[in-house]
Amino acid sequence: MCSVMGHDAAIQDLVKHYRGLGLFHSLDTMEKMQNRVLTLVSELKDSSLLLVCSNVERFDMHDVVCDVAITIASRDHRWLALGQEDVFEEWSNEDTMRNYSLISLHYAKVSELPDEFNCLNLTFFSMHGCGLEDIVILGELRNLEILDLCGSVITMLPKEIGQLTRLKLLDLSNCSYLKVISPNVLSNLSRFKELYLYLSFYRLEVEGIENPRRNASLDELQHLSCLTTLEVHIPNVEAIPKDNLFLEKMERYKISIGNEEWSLYCEREMKTSRILKLKISKSIHLVNEIHKLLSRKIESLHLDRVEVVREMFYDPNVESFRQLRFIKVLSYNMLKNLFPFHTAKRLLQLEELEVCNCENITELVVEKEEIDENDILKFI
């Protein structure tokens, strides 16, 4: 798998592909998956099969090693992997194409895809960083389970992609040119498990505003009973359905909501699987959604100028703060204290708490309630 990801590849993408291929059945948390991949990458680096990068979150491979690995993958696993300098002229050869189970066009110089695909066994297709724009033909790959379009230059996800009813993972992250996701494409993908839209698509429509809709909406995710992983930036709060269902069943999510996007990952959060970042004004309906996310054991919470800080931390019914590991609160001058004691006691996994530009804050934990002499605050 490392060989088809090209140079300067991200470990997070490797984790994503391994999970999508179902190679992590025995590992039940993102941290375990991450650690497993980090161990494998470290062992390969120690064996000089992978190269060390300046960024610890990435890896590289020597051209000779990469070529040998791709040859083995092609021979033993029926994989086709094209790099930046490769030319492939066998698209129309039915005997050749029908055998492939994986095709990777990682930054490949491919100007167009064939008029038809004779790849009956194909389950994995990647055009990561590829310059192709027209992907309508991919709708014929009915057995496809993983579609990686990360960093591609597509401007539209066509309605034909909705025919991929076996699809489990769709990666549209870093597709900065993507303007249109055809309506009802996402809702047709009934086996969908993982959707990655971060640093990509910001035009989610509000259901009921445009009739008929010209773009995708979050309401489409309501119908996807298998969806458990979502990475997305939602600039318009109103795009979140009021009678929400999909957020409650998320096992892994990295979501930012508000009128300004910021970097999704920082080094300390790489090992967390549930991240919520908010930069919004007060909204009663959204407060309820935040609490639903919290009930799913959120691990990292970032609040920027959020007026619902007190409502969140003072709610006696929210029981899942026990999983919070990172909290960041900034730029909210109405805040005088952060937690009541009964909330602070739940923060058993807290590793880092950062409060910035909250000029009127006087204490982190307020002691207005009666405290038993045996009550002790313990943080990691």
CB 9 within 8 A of CB 60: yes
The pLDDT of residue 376: 52
User: Are the C-beta atoms of 316 and 310 separated by less than 8 Å?
Assistant: no
- Looking at per-residue pLDDT, the higher value among 47 and 318 belongs to 47
The pLDDT of 54-82, averaged and rounded, is 75
> Which residue is associated with the tokens 């530009």?
357
Which amino acid makes up residue 95?
D
Please give the Cα distance from 100 to 114 (Å, whole number): 15
Q: Which two tokens stand for residue 134?
A: 């027209």
Q: For residue 264, give every residue at least 6 positions away whose Cβ sits within 8 Å of its Cβ, in sequence order, or none.
A: 198, 199, 231, 233, 254, 256, 275, 277
Between 210 and 337, residue with greater pLDDT = 337
Dihedral over alpha carbons 202, 207, 208, 213 (to 10 degrees): 60
Q: Which pLDDT band holds residue 37 (cuts at 50, 70, 90)?
A: confident
Mean pLDDT comparison of 173-177, 243-247, 302-306, highest-scoring range = 173-177
Cα angle, residue 125 at apex, residues 25 and 59 outer, rounded to 5°: 70
Is 310 a residue whose pLDDT tops 60?
yes
Give CA–CA dist 134/110, Å, rounded: 11
Question: Of the candidates 227, 278, 276, 225, which has an alpha carbon nearest to the alpha carbon of residue 250?
Answer: 227
The pTM assigned to this predicted structure is 0.83
The proportion of the chain whose per-residue pLDDT surpasses 90, expressed as a percent, equals 13
Total residues belonging to the chain: 380
Cβ(157)–Cβ(172) under 8 Å? Answer: yes
User: What mean pLDDT comes out for the span 32-52?
Assistant: 81
Which pLDDT score is estimated for 137? 92
Mean pLDDT of 16-38: 72
What does 157-172 look like in DSSP terms, one character per residue?
E-GGGGG-TT--EEE-
127-164 confidence digits (pLDDT tens): 887 888 899 999 999 999 999 999 889 999 999 999 99
- Which residues does residue 340 pair with via DSSP β-bridges, in sequence order? 366
Question: Does residue 121 have a pLDDT over 60?
Answer: yes
The CA distance from 97 to 303, in Å, is 50
Tell me, what's the pLDDT at 6? 67
Per residue in 242-293, pLDDT (tens digit) is 766 567 778 888 888 876 555 545 555 566 788 888 887 666 566 666 666 6
CB 94 within 8 A of CB 115: no
- The torsion region of residue 319 among left (phi > 0), alpha (psi -120 to 50) and beta comes to alpha
- The pLDDT score that the predictor gives to residue 168 is 92
pLDDT at 82 over 80: no
Q: Cα(371)–Cα(380) distance, rounded to whole angstroms? A: 21
pLDDT digits (tens, 9 = 90+) for 237-246: 777 777 665 6
Confidence of residue 48 (pLDDT cuts 50, 70, 90): confident
What would the two tokens of residue 301 be? 């919470």
**Tokens linked to 3:** 């060989």
pLDDT at 63 over 60: yes
> According to the model, what pLDDT value does residue 303 have?
83
